[in-house]
Structure 1
């Protein structure tokens, strides 16, 4: 499939959302990803990016959200891409999906780990399911999807930010730990976690210590 870049949103100084128009309609589930295909001579390199928004299905638009990695060749190509540039993609792919459940949904992310979770959150915006986002970033300026979160938190979403390198009155400080989890979560719930491997491992261990059933813990890492 061909994907043409039609809009760029600067989420913060180092993170952008890229919105693509695809040459055919697709159906995806919140949490899934698409694969970008980069021809490199005789080789083909593939890179996966989570779909970071929710559209009525089927759709011919998808969004990805990525940060600038200076030594990442292909992320740099995407980060610096211009309107109307075209890319080869395929998908959707992935088993990290939002379950159809009546249990409250708890979303836990660090940094760009929020990207697949935002697709899940938006898909629940007009449903009755309770949802909470626990989001760890260094500073307030590092929050991705700030406008969406502000809008959603006025209505359906309970938002619990925690800052690791800044103090703001009324906000949580430090990393997500056992204390924060016990304050924020009550059984029964389903939890969706996304971030770097060490972050996902740590949060999952805290949840298991909190006597959560592992079948209700869903993870994605990169």
Structure 2
């Protein structure tokens, strides 16, 4: 796989274990929302370690953005990414993959933790289009352990400012006003999913399985 060298322009901490990486965008680098890239760190001893991450910036941005969670217990690329600095270089692949976005259907996006990255680029595109009807047709159910784990909460609220009821923030280990407290349940999904909904889930495998099992039961 051909890799391109890109400079890290900015690193910003978003939560206690998540950072935002802003990269210089190569010329003629095109992608669509939901696509990912494979990257490695351009340092001796680390060029063979590769990981895939979803691009979170909008396609028309003049930079590339990646939002990456740190897993200290897993020694590898993500651990090293949280130790490098602005001005360092990464090697990135061409974008790959696709996100099935059916404009004709009501959509329910369900994300757990850092898996919100799968939906961010698309949500940003829809917000910039200023077409409130498109966002009115999307429900985002976003589950985290605590309010301190919620990634880009203020931006998400701004994106859904014209359809606030469509943003459902869930906390599994903290009780707090204005959030749904507890795990995402079949009962909760029944409030938002109907037989015509297009349900997309991103998160750990067991989370995806549970959500899709709930959705199939609701839509059967």
Whether the TM-score (by the shorter chain) exceeds 0.5 is yes
Counterpart of 1:121 in structure 2 is: 123
Measured against aligned partners, the alpha-carbon deviations of 1:43-69 in whole angstroms (never above 9, x if no partner) come to 82321011122131xx55211111111
Moved over 4 A (4+): 38-43
Q: Is the 8 A contact 1:23 1:60 kept in 2?
A: no
The answer to which of 35-44 and 108-117 deviates more is: 35-44
Secondary structure in 1 matching 2:50:
strand
1:208 to 201, 204, 216: 216
Measured against aligned partners, the alpha-carbon deviations of 1:167-211 in whole angstroms (never above 9, x if no partner) come to 113421111111010012234222221001110011010000011
Question: Quick one: structure 1 residues 43 and 50, their matched pair in 2 at CA, closer, same or farther if it must change by over 3 Å?
Answer: closer
Question: Quick one: structure 1 residues 66 and 15, their matched pair in 2 at CA, closer, same or farther if it must change by over 3 Å?
Answer: same
Q: Is the 8 A contact 1:20 1:63 kept in 2?
A: yes
Counterpart of 1:184 in structure 2 is: 192
Q: Does 1:141 align with 2:148?
A: yes
2:18 to 15, 18, 24: 15
Q: Does 1:154 align with 2:158?
A: no
Unpaired runs of 5+ in structure 2? none
Counterpart of 1:51 in structure 2 is: 55
Measured against aligned partners, the alpha-carbon deviations of 1:144-175 in whole angstroms (never above 9, x if no partner) come to 01121121121246210111111113421111
Alpha-carbon distance between aligned partners in 2 of 1:7 and 1:42, rounded to the nearest angstrom: 21
Question: Quick one: structure 1 residues 196 and 108, their matched pair in 2 at CA, closer, same or farther if it must change by over 3 Å?
Answer: same
Q: Is the 8 A contact 1:2 1:22 kept in 2?
A: no
Question: Quick one: structure 1 residues 60 and 90, their matched pair in 2 at CA, closer, same or farther if it must change by over 3 Å?
Answer: farther
**Cα deviation, residue 84, structure 1:** 1.3
Secondary structure in 2 matching 1:183:
coil
The answer to which of 59-68 and 193-202 deviates more is: 59-68
Q: Is the 8 A contact 1:30 1:98 kept in 2?
A: no
Secondary structure in 2 matching 1:207:
helix
Question: Quick one: structure 1 residues 124 and 98, their matched pair in 2 at CA, closer, same or farther if it must change by over 3 Å?
Answer: farther
Unpaired runs of 5+ in structure 1? 213-222
Counterpart of 1:72 in structure 2 is: 75
Counterpart of 1:169 in structure 2 is: 177
Alpha-carbon distance between aligned partners in 1 of 2:94 and 2:75, rounded to the nearest angstrom: 22
Alpha-carbon distance between aligned partners in 2 of 1:6 and 1:42, rounded to the nearest angstrom: 20
Query: What TM-score do the two structures reach when normalised by structure 2?
Result: 0.87
